[in-house]
Chain A
Amino acid sequence: MSEEALAGTFEERAHLQLQVPGLATAIGRAMDTILGNRALAFAGADLEAMREAGEAIRTHTVASLPAYLERFAETARANGTNVFFAETGSEAVEYVRGVLRAHEARLVVKGKSMAAEEIGLNHALEADGTEVVETDLGEYIVQVAHEPPSHIIVPAVHKTRGQIRDLFNRVHGTDLPDEPERITKFARQHLRERFLAADVGITGVNFAIAEAGSFVIVTNEGNGRMCSSLPHVHIAIMGMERIVPSYRELAVLMPLLTGSATGQRVTTYMNFVHGPRRPQDPDGPEEVHVVVLDNGRSSILEGEFRSILHCIRCGACQNVCPVYRQVGGHAYGAVYGGPIGAVLTPLLSGLERFGDLPNASSLCAACTDVCPVRIPLHDHLLELRRAVVLERAGVAERETFGLWSRAWSRAAGYRLFARLARVGQWPLARAHRIRRGPLWLSRWTRDRDLPAVAARTFRERRRRS
């Protein structure tokens, strides 16, 4: 799927994604693997106590965000790091462009960063003629395919090994087999050259440590280490909420993050950056920059949705979401998919454009149950739906649903509706399913079946048995 397919409504994008053969099966299988590993990673630990502590740490930190950010800026600058506070995405992009210009940078190697995706950094830099190479294998795959990532942790989860082989062979003129081992070895060689030639490395930030003025990048591949070690300049982009008071909190947050994200008790590399290379150091960047990004987050701070800023970007809510598992990340039309995206995107980018995302949920609350810092995601989804209705729904729609609600709230009304539906559905229902509905129902049945109303209600069956 191309980047243009991100336009339209959720319904349209989801419809497109549901036409992709095997997509839901592939995503479901991958998500089940991660969830199985997650269970193993937390085996023997008191996960509920950890989640409670995670929530407490995040609640405290986000409620005192300005103080911790101020402290971070102070300590990081004392370490020789440049800290830039960007109110908007374009301010952040401008700052990065300025650094690149100052160093006449031609080639940028980039580690995985959702914040950079969020502000469209690659496009802006490429428009200046800078070559930007994604170095996380999954990100590299989607970059070469000219697609956005479809999962926070596994960006190319929607692609099969066969598709990746074909893509690489087409782009690189190679003759690789569809073996992950061989494809990865090729990527290692190809990207190693880029790492050694790059002028600037750009990465995300998993956590910034206020007390220390340091930040940590978590990777398995080592691309975060490469980007922050080999080029002359390292720029890290962080959402302003990605901060912790001190190292101590990481003893809980790190296992929560890695266990929830990939089912690992620890990732291969936790890369703590304290600043630019010291005078005696044999290697490392001469300049380190941290861009602290607001980009709409501060408007979330004051209201009922503040806890969405507690998110540590593990992606677990995507893995369990029955909607995400069917339609994949691209259907959400923005950087963040799944329940976190359905809450965060409308808040960051506006209900006008993304007001339909909160409907991409069955409100089953699996996301809330799995969230390592106990964000009440399904409550937020419901609150956002309410906000959309208050803003948008016409009198007719409100009255119709008002009547419906009043009727269904009474036993007699509910029974009447059930009986009417049973009679009314006979031309449509086949084998207990309605596969093609008429009029407005056709939108529902376009991509799924509607279970038919049963011949006898539960109450009727009980009465007769």
Chain B
Amino acid sequence: MQDEVFLTRLRERLRGVRVPERPTDLPLTPASGDGRLFERFAEELPKVGGQARRVRPGELAGVVAELAAGAGAAVVASGLGAHRDAVLEGLATAGCAAEEPTRERAATADLGVTGAALGVASTGSVLIPMGPDAPRVASLLPPLHVVVIDEDRLVPGFGELFEQMADLSLGRAQTVLVTGPSRTADIELSIVRGVHGPERMVVLVVANGTE
């Protein structure tokens, strides 16, 4: 009823107003992509303070161990697919405890490891649909966020991202596109990283096939 009153008022105000066509042919933007996906991704992410590394499946555990060196505890999302074992192996090698990503653990962990559904090459972004396989706190509370994503999940740009957005968000309560570590420029426009979210972000892109 209240909706109807509200919407009827708008309809009356717009009576007789011509509605132009919904545009279909959208132009290219700085977030539109080209062909070299990983190269572009790895070029863009450092511009916003993140890092991207391409690893072969066999190297993943070693790289995770390197990243977790000196860390006491990590929270690990379950949605890492086939890479979960390698991640856990790497953490164990580094002597870093792998914990369930609860809010309490995440608040004190040194790093959080999650997967991602999509990577956007032209901006160095990753899309993380939150859910049982990716608790929100795992990518938000620890100072270091490590993302593991298969190379074939990279797309060129925003056009491709938003085409898949509805499907990738199906059944989800929240989907977040993350581009680099948390930052602010609110004090004299000087950039400081690690405001509320992570200070560091590393994306490990697992190479396709067996090179």
Chain A residues within CB distance 8 Å of chain B: 26, 30, 33-34, 41-46, 49-50, 52-53, 56-57, 59-60, 63-66, 69-70, 73, 84-85, 87, 135-138, 141, 154-157, 159-161, 164, 180-181, 183-185, 187-188, 191-192, 195-196, 211-212, 214, 220-223, 225-226, 228-230, 240, 245-252, 254-256, 259, 262, 264-278, 280-284, 292, 294, 298-299, 301-302, 306
Contact: B178 with A269, CB < 8 Å? yes
Q: Which one of B22, B31, B140, B185 contacts A220 once the chains associate, using CB atoms below 8 Å?
A: B185
Contact: B27 with A273, CB < 8 Å? no
Residues of A within 8 A of B69 (CB): none
B10 within 8 A of A: yes
Alpha-carbon separation in the docked complex, A247 to B170 (Å): 13
Chain B residues within CB distance 8 Å of chain A: 2-3, 5-11, 13-14, 17-23, 26-32, 48, 101-103, 107, 123, 125, 130-132, 135-137, 140, 157-159, 161-163, 165-166, 169, 171-190, 192, 194-197
Contact: B195 with A34, CB < 8 Å? no
Known: A220-B183, A222-B197. 16 other contacts (CB 8 A): A49-B27, A65-B14, A66-B7, A66-B8, A85-B2, A87-B5, A188-B194, A211-B166, A251-B29, A270-B176, A277-B173, A281-B132, A282-B102, A283-B135, A283-B136, A283-B137
Least CB distance from B98 to A in Å reads 16
Least CB distance from B23 to A in Å reads 4
Residues of A within 8 A of B162 (CB): 247-248, 250-251
Contact: A137 with B14, CB < 8 Å? no
Contact: B189 with A154, CB < 8 Å? yes
Contact: A63 with B186, CB < 8 Å? no
Q: Which one of A211, A269, A278, A301 contacts B171 once the chains associate, using CB atoms below 8 Å?
A: A278
Contact: A251 with B14, CB < 8 Å? no
Contact: A136 with B174, CB < 8 Å? no
Least CB distance from A115 to B in Å reads 16
Contact: B131 with A280, CB < 8 Å? yes
CB-CB nearest in chain A for B132: A280
- Enumerate 20 A-B pairs (CB-CB under 8 Å) in ascending A order: A44-B30, A56-B23, A60-B22, A60-B23, A63-B20, A66-B14, A181-B192, A184-B194, A250-B162, A251-B162, A255-B29, A264-B48, A265-B123, A266-B125, A268-B48, A268-B197, A269-B197, A272-B177, A276-B173, A302-B13
SS class of chain B's interface: helix, strand, loop or mixed?
loop
Q: Which one of A66, A223, A272 contacts B195 once the chains associate, using CB atoms below 8 Å?
A: A223
Residues of B within 8 A of A159 (CB): 187
CB-CB nearest in chain A for B181: A268
Contact: A56 with B20, CB < 8 Å? yes
Q: Which one of B135, B165, B173, B177 contacts A273 once the chains associate, using CB atoms below 8 Å?
A: B173
3 cross-chain pairs, A with B, having the tightest CB-CB distances, nearest first: A222-B197, A138-B186, A49-B27
Contact: B28 with A274, CB < 8 Å? no
Least CB distance from A80 to B in Å reads 8
Contact: A270 with B177, CB < 8 Å? yes
Contact: A282 with B20, CB < 8 Å? no
Contact: B161 with A251, CB < 8 Å? yes
Contact: A251 with B196, CB < 8 Å? no
